[in-house]
Amino acid sequence: MHAADLLTHLDRIRRAATAQEVRSRLILATDAYGIDQVMCGLVPTPATPPAEARKSIFFGNWPTGWLERYVARRYVDIDPVIAQVTAADALFDWREARAPADRAPLARLMMEEAREHGLSAGFALPFSGPAGQRGSISLSGARIELDPAGRTTLALLAASAADRAATLLQGDAWRPSSPLTTRERDCVAWAAEGKTEWESAAILGIAPKTVESHLIAARRKLNAANKVHLVAKAFRLGLID
């Protein structure tokens, strides 16, 4: 995807007025990669009743039969993708997800059921809320085609969509705790350009460790789960162009 097209899609997601509009614009933006089904929301705690668990969903278009079964049978407790979400900090392929050993047999059965409902391949991106809530956005398609650059683009689009939906549905509770300093904005802006900590340090005339510290501080202030999520939130808030 060309940079101009990516910026257009990010801007459309940022301007979406409802969570369902976010979903539609995300699917439109990722259609070229073979994505046609998405699900985004907070990860419910093990004690959450099924009816309450449904409320943790921001948006999605999973097959209805599968979503109902997933919630009713509390598959979130054995889902290897969700297990990976709680530990990962970047976009990952579902095939990379591993359930705890004691839940592996049930997890394999669950994934087989998912494939029977048309969810055979996908990627997931973790994200975090201001109170430490863990969230996940999953993207699926029958034939997903992603090169390394496409994977980075997909992560940025997914992070932007998750953040916009959370802001629409959670309101002030999802807003950052404090603004970024000038140097933190500089580091985030260069990260958005794809620069490493070493490259950003050379450009800004500071040490790589200092760049890393600024990015960590910015992630904390913007409640971002990872660098991609940080860039997406900074873009939505108008902190970087």
- Token pair in block for residue 2: 């060309």
- Model confidence band, residue 4 (pLDDT cutoffs 50, 70, 90): confident
- Token pair in block for residue 106: 């049930």
The mean pLDDT of the chain is 86
Residues 129 and 30: their CA atoms lie apart, in Å, by 24
Sheet with 134-140, side-by-side order of all strands: 57-60, 37-42, 134-140, 122-128, 92-93
Question: Is residue 145 within 8 Å of residue 121, measured between CB atoms?
Answer: no
Q: What is the CA radius of gyration of the chain?
A: 18
Determine if residue 99 is left, alpha or beta; phi over 0 gives left, psi from -120 to 50 gives alpha, anything else beta: beta
- Helix, coil or strand: residue 181: coil
Q: Which CATH superfamily is domain 3-173 in?
A: Transcription factor LuxR-like, autoinducer-binding domain (3.30.450.80)
The pLDDT value given to residue 175: 64
**Lowest-confidence segment of 138-142, 158-162, 225-229 by average pLDDT:** 225-229
pLDDT per residue as tens digits for the range 61-102: 998 789 889 888 889 889 999 999 888 878 999 999 888 888
The pLDDT value given to residue 235: 78
Amino acid occupying residue 225 = A
Residues 219 and 127: their CA atoms lie apart, in Å, by 11
**Lowest-confidence segment of 15-19, 154-158, 220-224 by average pLDDT:** 220-224
- Token pair in block for residue 142: 């029958």
The pLDDT value given to residue 173: 63
The pLDDT value given to residue 130: 66
- Model confidence band, residue 182 (pLDDT cutoffs 50, 70, 90): confident
The pLDDT value given to residue 21: 96
- Token pair in block for residue 134: 């863990």
**Lowest-confidence segment of 58-62, 87-91, 197-201 by average pLDDT:** 87-91
- Token pair in block for residue 6: 């990516």
CATH 3.30.2010.30 fits 177-221, yes or no: no
CA-based nearest residue to 127, from 95, 89, 179: 89
Domain boundaries, the chain: 3-173, 177-221
pLDDT per residue as tens digits for the range 96-139: 988 888 888 899 999 999 999 999 899 999 988 766 778 999 99
The pLDDT value given to residue 208: 87
